[in-house]
């Protein structure tokens, strides 16, 4: 079954059709810059362009960098604050003309990693962290998702953790891999004290360069890079929309 997955991020909006039985993209990923300001109207237009690029007229799964409850965005990280309380599923369905399922971006990446990637077959508590413009988090306990954790907003040194240890901060402050890796390590230490996970999985674009900072990460439990890399959000979004596609088939 093929479903279009779209990943809305603070710097880019990217998508591709996904074979949800294998987790493989079935076409080359298409990416457009996230509009600034990233208002509901502006973002909806870009999402619609991504859907049109693939000439898509079927269910779509879409990630969003926020708490998402019942299709409504309840927070707004790295996008315009007008998203808070916005009916995201309704807005994006109207823009694309397709049935839409919206979920937290890190939750989507986690779903993909737990099914096809580094978390496959893992029991206990697994924590997926996406390090990019911000920091997304997803927690799975014996394979079951605890949604909308948003642990990038834990306080560290008087800042949101993502303003201390995200990949955006590495670039903005021109931190070398050692200095940034030590910041990430401090963040992992906070998470260990609070949640005692059995495994950390590091996702986001920076997962491709894991070997450059891995030696500076020293939690008590294993830390591994995401296997689906920066495509995990797209794959997880498509998987989350599977129920919409099956409902259409049943009709």
The whole-angstrom separation of Cα 74 and Cα 21 is: 31
Query: pLDDT-derived band of residue 229, with 50, 70 and 90 as boundaries?
Result: confident
How do strand 135-141 and strand 144-146 relate by DSSP bridges? antiparallel
What contacts 191, CB < 8 A, 6 or more positions away?
127, 129, 151, 154, 197, 200
The whole-angstrom separation of Cα 128 and Cα 41 is: 30
The whole-angstrom separation of Cα 188 and Cα 55 is: 42
CATH 2.50.20.10 fits 121-227, yes or no: no
- List, in sequence order, every residue forming a beta bridge with 8; answer none if it has no partner: 13
The whole-angstrom separation of Cα 72 and Cα 91 is: 10
| Sequence ranges of the domains in the chain | 2-107+232-250, 121-227
What is the pTM (predicted TM-score) of this model? 0.93
pLDDT mean over 23-33: 97
Residue 106 has pLDDT above 70, yes or no: yes
Domains 2-107+232-250 and 121-227 belong to one CATH topology: yes
What angle (nearest 5°) sits at the alpha carbon of residue 116, between those of residues 57 and 148? 75
The pLDDT value recorded for residue 78 is: 83
Q: What is the pLDDT of residues 112-140, one digit of tens each?
A: 999 999 999 999 999 999 999 899 999 99
The whole-angstrom separation of Cα 251 and Cα 229 is: 36
What is the dotted CATH code of the domain comprising 2-107+232-250?
3.30.420.40
Are 175 and 167 spatial neighbours (Cβ–Cβ below 8 Å)? no
Place of tokens 């997880």: 236
Q: Which pair of structure tokens corresponds to residue 81?
A: 């604050």
Q: What is the pLDDT of residues 142-166, one digit of tens each?
A: 999 999 999 999 999 899 999 999 9
Are 237 and 103 spatial neighbours (Cβ–Cβ below 8 Å)? yes
Q: What is the pLDDT of residues 64-86, one digit of tens each?
A: 999 999 999 999 988 999 999 99
Are 201 and 219 spatial neighbours (Cβ–Cβ below 8 Å)? no
What angle (nearest 5°) sits at the alpha carbon of residue 1, between those of residues 99 and 46? 40
């Amino acid at each position: 079954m093929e479903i279009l997955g779209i990943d809305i991020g603070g710097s880019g909006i990217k998508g591709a059709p996904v074979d949800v039985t294998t987790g493989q993209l079935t076409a080359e990923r298409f990416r457009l810059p996230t509009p600034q300001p990233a208002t509901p109207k502006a973002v909806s237009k870009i999402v619609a362009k991504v859907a049109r690029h693939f000439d898509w007229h079927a269910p779509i799964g879409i990630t969003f960098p926020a708490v998402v409850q019942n299709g409504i965005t309840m927070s707004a990280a790295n996008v315009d604050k007008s998203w808070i309380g916005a009916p995201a599923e309704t807005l994006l369905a109207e823009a694309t003309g397709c049935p839409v399922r919206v979920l937290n971006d890190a939750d989507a990446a986690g779903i993909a990693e737990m099914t096809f990637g580094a978390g496959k077959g893992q029991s206990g508590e697994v924590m997926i962290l996406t390090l990019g413009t911000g920091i997304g988090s997803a927690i799975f306990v014996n394979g079951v998702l605890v949604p909308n954790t948003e642990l990038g907003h834990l306080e560290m040194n008087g800042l949101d953790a993502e303003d201390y240890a995200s990949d955006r901060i590495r670039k903005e402050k021109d931190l070398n891999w050692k200095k940034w890796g030590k910041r990430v390590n401090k963040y992992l230490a906070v998470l260990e004290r609070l949640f005692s996970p059995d495994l950390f999985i590091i996702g986001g674009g920076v997962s491709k360069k894991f070997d450059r900072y891995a030696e500076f990460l020293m939690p008590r439990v294993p830390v591994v890079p995401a296997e689906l890399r920066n495509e995990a959000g797209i794959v997880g979004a498509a998987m989350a929309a599977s129920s919409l596609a099956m409902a259409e088939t049943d009709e």
